[in-house]
Structure 1
Amino acid sequence: MKKIITLLFLVSFGITQAQQAFKGKGDIKVNVGANLQDGGSGIQGSVDFGLGENFSFGFVANYLLGVDNFNGFYHNNPTPYYDQKPDFSDRFDAKARINANLSSVIGVDQLDVYPGLSLGLHNFGGHVGGRYFFTEGFGVFTEIGFPIAKYGNNDGVFDHLNNQTTFSLGASFNL
């Protein structure tokens, strides 16, 4: 019962003390969290810089820590792969991105919903995310990213790692 009361207190305190999520020009947000996807999981870090009331640009980087090794045949290649491990370039992706920050549009200052586009090392894609700030400097975020156009011919065993839908969640900081 004490745990339930403590949880209710923390949730109600977080909601009543919530702060404005996106302030516009000059605003800087940093996100750090977990990246979850098919075939691996890892970490994601991003930074967004406010350019106007509802517009920001930024950078995001992902690194897959846990990746499934590959065994078997790939793309009708007659030579089988045995315990094939991904290289650094298969695990890492970096992107430049732009966002439309919609907190003032939807009328909820504490929640920043941001759809956007990204141009990265492996693809051109999109994302939809949200940030909620409990205090002036700390909040949580979640984000779904997806490829729109993939680079290359997708012949590598691990090309799918950076060309699929990803889900991220973690902490957000206001600088």
Structure 2
Amino acid sequence: MKKVITLLFLVTVGITQAQEAFKGKGDVKVNVGANLQNGGSGIQGSVDFGLGENFSFGFVANYLLGVDNFSGFYHNDVTLYNDSKADFGDRFDAKARINANLSSVIGIKELDVYPGLSLGLHNFGGHVGGRYFFTDGFGVFTEVGFPIAKYGNNNDPFYNLNNQTTFSLGASFNL
């Protein structure tokens, strides 16, 4: 029963003390969290700079810490892979991005919903995310990213790392 009461208290305080999630021009948000995708998981960091009431640009980078090794033939190629490991270029991705910040449009100032586009090392893609701020400086975020146009060829067993639908969640900070 103590756990239920504590949870209800935290939810109530979090809702009643919530702060504005996106203020517009001059606003700076930093996200740090986990990146999850098929075949690997890692860390992600991003920064977004407000340019207007509903528009921001930023950068995102992620690095996959845990990646499944590959053994066997890839796409019926004649090359046999034996416990191959992903190199740095397969694990790392960096992107420039633009967002449409919709908190003022949807009328919930504590929740920043932001669809956007990104141009990175592995693909041109899109993302949809959300941030909720409990205090003026601290909140949580979640984001789903997806490729629209992939770069390179599909001859590498690690081609899909950072080149597929990804899910991220973590902490968000207001600078």
Name the TM-score, length of structure 1 as normaliser: 0.99
Could you tell me which amino acid in structure 2 is paired with residue 135 of structure 1?
T
Partner residue, 1:29 = 29
Specify the alignment match of 1:109 in structure 2.
109
Instruction: Give the match for residue 5 of structure 1.
Output: 5
Q: Which runs of 4+ in 1 moved over 2 A?
A: none
CA distance in 1, matches of 2:115, 2:11: 26
Aligned match of 1:55: 55
SS at match of 1:135: coil
Name the amino acid aligned to 2:173.
F
2:84 alignment partner AA: Q
Q: Deviations over 1:66-116 (max 9, x none)?
A: 000001001222231110000000000000000000000000000000000
Deviation at 1:155, TM superposition (A): 1.5
Structure 1 segment 89-168 matched on structure 2, within 5 A: 89-168=89-168
Count of residue correspondences: 175
Q: What amino acid does structure 2 have at the position aligned with 1:9?
A: F
Segments of structure 1 that go 5 or more residues without pairing to the other structure are: none
CA RMSD of aligned residues (A): 0.6
Identity of aligned residues (%): 86
Partner of 1:73: 73
Moved more, 154-163 or 119-128: 154-163
**CA offsets, 1:37-84, max 9 Å, x none?**
100000000000000000000000010000000010012222311100
